[in-house]
């Protein structure tokens, strides 16, 4: 039995000796490494916050005091010391421990959105609420230097600086990295705080002298770290945070638990908002992570614990996009690429190597990325912003007003669209085709396979007077699905028997639709499967096909509300085409984490369920009945 087994809640950390805490830290690292090696997950970030998290839980009293983790990908240590050690082996598995904080899991978790740069706003609100209600509670926000590049964090700091009575401690976990090294003016400013030699030397000297005085050393050293205008302030590098009017403590070695505790205790005593600047190393305590150049094992797939060698993955959609964009970049000198701190995950790394002057990593700043893209387009270039579908949500207004209204030729490449699975509710890319439907002039393509990805991307970057979007899912692409015919701009994939059922399949759902068609054909039901390729605007050829069939079935890997099916239905209605219509998509709910295929089966987006529903619908029509009701919340 290890020490971790004796930690049921953070209070159990209080009685441990320094040696036991070191032992516990090692045990936590071991558990995290072994678990992520099989289940995949965020390893580097969590290895970097072991001491920091232990220190927070020893100094503050969670859940009375609230701890908010920005993004939440670095909350494994917190989970392990808040009663979830026994279940930790189920990390990211269906029904198991979530990869992010989860209110359903623990009273110690509060924020679970996993979209970066929000912690300070949550914390600002919480601290103000406690102040107004007269509750003696502290709020601790843990935010990485990466998340600190997001605009929301600065909007929050601007407010926090004047919220004098907020008992708010902001721990800046500075490991110099997002996935790759954090870039920008902020990163430079943090470096200057980190490396100010005068500060470090003087503090060291003071520490040595004071600690040499028996009895008073620690207390006096504490006092130096403390509040109000004192010696510490005279020594601390002025800049950045203090210019904003925020109390600053640091820099502190985030792997020195005792030093962290001391800094946090001082910050706690201050009684107003304080920043504690902790310097940590991503991947600390595990050599393969520290050596991992691309991202220090930010989020590895399964790997070998001894060597750190990742299990081979096949080519995924991202890899094919990566090749396609390099190819396009070679042919078009006006093509520029943008990433919001996700160079490797979105596959722009090779483009960046080849065309560094045409690649921009803007930090975790999707809103800025979009409007900056508008500027690049106005300046005569064609920007391609590659981003996970879920993160574009944040920049909706920028797409609408800054790009579309100005008729800017910007291409958005939405990776990880549709159901993504393991990362839980916040990471599914199930909103893009709904929110983008309302953007005038925007054209949206959903390639069904790799050939179509290349084709549609090529078409997209040729549009220079409107935004274009190319969206594809997570994981490996299917085998190519050849077209047997064209209808307008759409591909006809199957035409079997009579014109009974028209299946309009979007992107990744085409492969499934072809399988559904073969099941229907086997039962003597006539079926046509069409892939619109460009799903927005609706192709008039599809309206005509719908007019000629007995039943229209739309299938998309996007929320049912306001997506492609809903828009098609509305278009048919406007055109006076009243063919019975069945709309299949993702129910408009927050989906718990599980494997993508398991979720698709659960929500009825698998071939078997779809085929059964179509057969039921056709049977109802044959009998002259209305379509049966389907429970879309199942
Ligand atoms: C809005 C948004 N964009 C992108 C991401 C993807 N993402 C997850 S973690 C991360 C890097 C975070 O860096 P940092 O805050 O420094 O934490 P670290 O992993 O270095 O501890 C990014 C870009 C996200 N979660 N949210």
CA proximity to 172, closest of 98, 275, 266, 88: 275
Locate tokens 């470096």: which residue?
191
Rounded CA gap, 612 and 601, in Å? 13
pLDDT one-digit tens code per residue, 525-535? 999 999 999 99
pLDDT on residue 196: 61
Peptide bond into 251 cis (omega under 30): yes
What is the whole-number distance in angstroms between the Cα of residue 518 and the centre of ligand 1?
43
Instruction: Supply φ then ψ for residue 43, to 5 degrees.
Output: -100, -55
pLDDT on residue 204: 57
pLDDT, mean of residues 104-120:
96
Residue having the nearest C-alpha atom to atom 7 of ligand 1: 116
Tokens standing for residue 334: 């006006």
224 pLDDT higher than 50 = no
pLDDT on residue 625: 79
* Percent of the chain whose pLDDT exceeds 90: 83
pLDDT on residue 206: 46
Strand partners, 140: 67, 169
pLDDT on residue 212: 55
What is the whole-number distance in angstroms between the Cα of residue 341 and the centre of ligand 1?
7
pLDDT on residue 325: 98
Instruction: Supply φ then ψ for residue 509, to 5 degrees.
Output: -80, -5
Rounded CA gap, 318 and 344, in Å? 9
- Identify the band that residue 228 occupies on the pLDDT scale cut at 50, 70 and 90: very low
What is the whole-number distance in angstroms between the Cα of residue 114 and the centre of ligand 1?
9
What is the whole-number distance in angstroms between the Cα of residue 364 and the centre of ligand 1?
7
Atom of ligand 1 nearest to the CA of 342: 23
Residue having the nearest C-alpha atom to atom 4 of ligand 1: 364
What is the whole-number distance in angstroms between the Cα of residue 340 and the centre of ligand 1?
9
Task: Tell me if residue 309 falls in helix, strand or coil.
Answer: coil
What is the whole-number distance in angstroms between the Cα of residue 378 and the centre of ligand 1?
29
What is the whole-number distance in angstroms between the Cα of residue 614 and the centre of ligand 1?
42
pLDDT one-digit tens code per residue, 460-493? 999 999 999 999 999 999 999 999 999 999 999 9
pLDDT one-digit tens code per residue, 143-159? 999 999 999 999 999 99
Q: Which residue has the higher pLDDT, 7 or 241?
A: 7
* DSSP category for residue 490: E
Is residue 460 a contact partner of residue 443, using CB atoms and an 8 Å limit? yes
pLDDT on residue 177: 80
Give the Å distances, CA to CA, from 287 to 298, 441, 532: 14, 51, 49
Tokens standing for residue 630: 């389907």
How high does pLDDT run on average in the chain?
91
Locate tokens 């071939």: which residue?
607
312 pLDDT higher than 50 = yes
Is residue 117 a contact partner of residue 367, using CB atoms and an 8 Å limit? no
* Percent of the chain whose pLDDT exceeds 70: 92
Is residue 619 a contact partner of residue 580, using CB atoms and an 8 Å limit? no
Residue having the nearest C-alpha atom to atom 10 of ligand 1: 178
pLDDT on residue 313: 84
Atom of ligand 1 nearest to the CA of 117: 1
Rounded CA gap, 261 and 269, in Å? 12
pLDDT one-digit tens code per residue, 392-446? 999 999 999 999 999 999 999 999 999 999 989 999 999 999 999 999 999 999 9
Q: Probe ligand 1: pick from 48, 145, 341, max atoms within 8 Å of CB?
A: 341
132 pLDDT higher than 90 = yes
Residue 434, H or E segment: helix 432-435
577 pLDDT higher than 50 = yes
Rounded CA gap, 415 and 348, in Å? 12
Residue having the nearest C-alpha atom to atom 17 of ligand 1: 144
CA proximity to 170, closest of 253, 278, 252: 278
Q: Probe ligand 1: pick from 41, 152, 175, 364, max atoms within 8 Å of CB?
A: 364
Atom of ligand 1 nearest to the CA of 45: 21
Task: Tell me if residue 84 falls in helix, strand or coil.
Answer: coil
pLDDT, mean of residues 205-212:
52
What is the whole-number distance in angstroms between the Cα of residue 71 and the centre of ligand 1?
6
pLDDT one-digit tens code per residue, 594-634? 999 999 999 999 999 999 999 999 999 999 877 877 665 54
Q: Which residues are known catalytic residues?
A: 282, 366, 394
Atom of ligand 1 nearest to the CA of 71: 25
pLDDT one-digit tens code per residue, 33-82? 999 999 999 999 999 999 999 999 999 999 999 999 999 999 999 999 99
CA proximity to 89, closest of 22, 23, 41, 20: 41
Q: Which residue has the higher pLDDT, 241 or 235?
A: 241
CA proximity to 444, closest of 328, 537, 316: 537
Sheet holding 139-144, edge to edge: 66-69, 139-144, 168-174, 274-279, 247-253
Atom of ligand 1 nearest to the CA of 364: 3
Rounded CA gap, 515 and 131, in Å? 59
175 pLDDT higher than 80 = yes
- Enumerate residues lining ligand 1, CB below 6 A: 45, 48, 71, 73-74, 114-116, 144-147, 173, 175, 177-179, 282, 298, 340-342, 364, 366, 391, 394
Rounded CA gap, 634 and 626, in Å? 21
Strand partners, 248: 275
Is residue 508 a contact partner of residue 452, using CB atoms and an 8 Å limit? no
Instruction: Supply φ then ψ for residue 557, to 5 degrees.
Output: -95, 60
Q: Probe ligand 1: pick from 53, 178, 282, 474, max atoms within 8 Å of CB?
A: 178
pLDDT on residue 207: 55
- Identify the band that residue 234 occupies on the pLDDT scale cut at 50, 70 and 90: very low
- 5-38 per-residue burial string, b: 16 or more CB within 10 A, e: under 16: eebeebebbeebeeeebeebbebbbebbbebbbe
DSSP for 497-541 reads SSS-EEEEE-TTHHHHHHHHHHHHHHTT--EEEEE-SEEESPPHH
Residue 631, H or E segment: none
Atom of ligand 1 nearest to the CA of 146: 16
Tokens standing for residue 403: 């790009």
pTM given for the model: 0.92
Task: Tell me if residue 249 falls in helix, strand or coil.
Answer: strand
Atom of ligand 1 nearest to the CA of 150: 1
Rounded CA gap, 291 and 456, in Å? 38
What is the whole-number distance in angstroms between the Cα of residue 211 and the centre of ligand 1?
39
pLDDT one-digit tens code per residue, 98-108? 999 999 999 99
pLDDT one-digit tens code per residue, 547-558? 999 999 999 999
């Amino acid at each position: 039995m290890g020490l971790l087994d004796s930690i049921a809640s953070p209070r159990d950390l209080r009685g441990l000796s320094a040696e036991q805490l070191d032992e516990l830290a090692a045990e936590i690292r071991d558990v995290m490494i072994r678990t992520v090696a099989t289940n995949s997950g965020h390893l580097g970030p969590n290895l970097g916050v072991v001491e920091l998290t232990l220190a927070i839980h020893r100094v503050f009293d969670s859940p009375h005091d609230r701890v908010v983790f920005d993004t939440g990908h670095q909350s494994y240590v917190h989970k392990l010391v808040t009663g979830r050690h026994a279940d930790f082996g189920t990390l990211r598995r269906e029904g198991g421990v979530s990869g992010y904080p989860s209110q359903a899991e623990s009273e110690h978790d509060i924020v679970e959105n996993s979209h970066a740069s929000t912690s300070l706003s949550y914390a600002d609100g919480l601290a103000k609420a406690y102040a107004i209600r007269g509750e003696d509670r502290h709020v601790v926000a843990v935010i990485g230097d990466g998340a600190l590049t997001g605009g929301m964090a600065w909007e929050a700091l601007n407010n926090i600086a004047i919220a004098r009575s907020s008992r708010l401690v902001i721990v800046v976990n500075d490991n110099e990295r997002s996935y790759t090294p954090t870039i920008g003016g902020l990163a430079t400013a943090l470096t200057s705080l980190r490396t100010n030699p005068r500060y470090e030397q003087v503090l060291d000297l003071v520490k040595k002298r004071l600690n040499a005085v028996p009895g008073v050393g620690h207390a006096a050293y504490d006092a130096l770290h403390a509040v109000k205008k004192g010696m510490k302030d005279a020594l601390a590098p002025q800049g950045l945070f203090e210019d904003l009017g925020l109390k600053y403590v640091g820099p502190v070695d985030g792997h020195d638990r005792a030093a962290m505790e001391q800094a946090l205790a001082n910050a706690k005593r201050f009684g107003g908002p304080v920043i504690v600047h902790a310097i940590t190393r991503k991947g600390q305590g595990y050599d393969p992570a520290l050596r991992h150049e691309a991202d220090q094992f930010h989020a590895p797939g399964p790997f070998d614990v001894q060597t750190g060698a990742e299990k081979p993955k096949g080519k995924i959609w991202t890899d094919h996009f990566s090749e396609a964009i390099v190819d396009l970049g070679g042919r078009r000198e006006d093509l520029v690429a943008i990433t919001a701190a996700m160079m490797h995950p979105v596959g722009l790394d090779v483009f960046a190597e080849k065309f560094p002057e045409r690649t921009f990593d803007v930090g975790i700043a999707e809103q800025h990325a979009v409007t900056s893209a508008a500027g690049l387009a106005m300046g005569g270039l064609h920007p391609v912003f590659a981003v996970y579908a879920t993160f574009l949500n944040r920049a909706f207004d920028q797409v609408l007003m800054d790009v579309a209204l100005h008729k800017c030729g910007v291409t958005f490449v939405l990776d990880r669209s549709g159901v993504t699975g393991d990362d839980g509710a916040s990471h599914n890319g199930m909103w893009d085709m709904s929110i983008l439907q309302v953007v005038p002039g925007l054209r949206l393509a959903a390639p069904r396979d790799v050939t179509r990805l290349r084709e549609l991307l090529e078409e997209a970057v040729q549009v220079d007077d409107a935004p274009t979007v190319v969206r594809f899912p997570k994981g490996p692409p299917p085998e190519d699905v050849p077209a047997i015919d064209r209808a307008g701009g759409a591909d006809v994939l199957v035409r079997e028997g009579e014109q009974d059922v028209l299946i309009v399949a979007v992107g990744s759902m085409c492969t499934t639709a072809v399988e559904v068609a073969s099941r229907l054909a086997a039962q003597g039901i006539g079926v046509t499967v069409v892939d619109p390729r460009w799903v927005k605007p609706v192709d008039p050829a599809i309206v005509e096909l719908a007019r000629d069939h007995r039943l229209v079935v739309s299938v998309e890997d996007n929320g049912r509300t306001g997506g492609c099916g809903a828009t098609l239905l509305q278009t048919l209605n406007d055109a006076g085409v009243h063919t019975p219509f069945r709309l299949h998509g993702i129910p408009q709910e927050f989906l718990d984490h599980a494997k993508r295929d398991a979720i698709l089966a659960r929500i009825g987006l698998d071939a078997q369920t779809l085929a059964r529903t179509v057969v039921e619908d056709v049977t109802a029509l044959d009998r002259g009945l209305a379509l049966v009701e389907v429970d879309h919340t199942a």
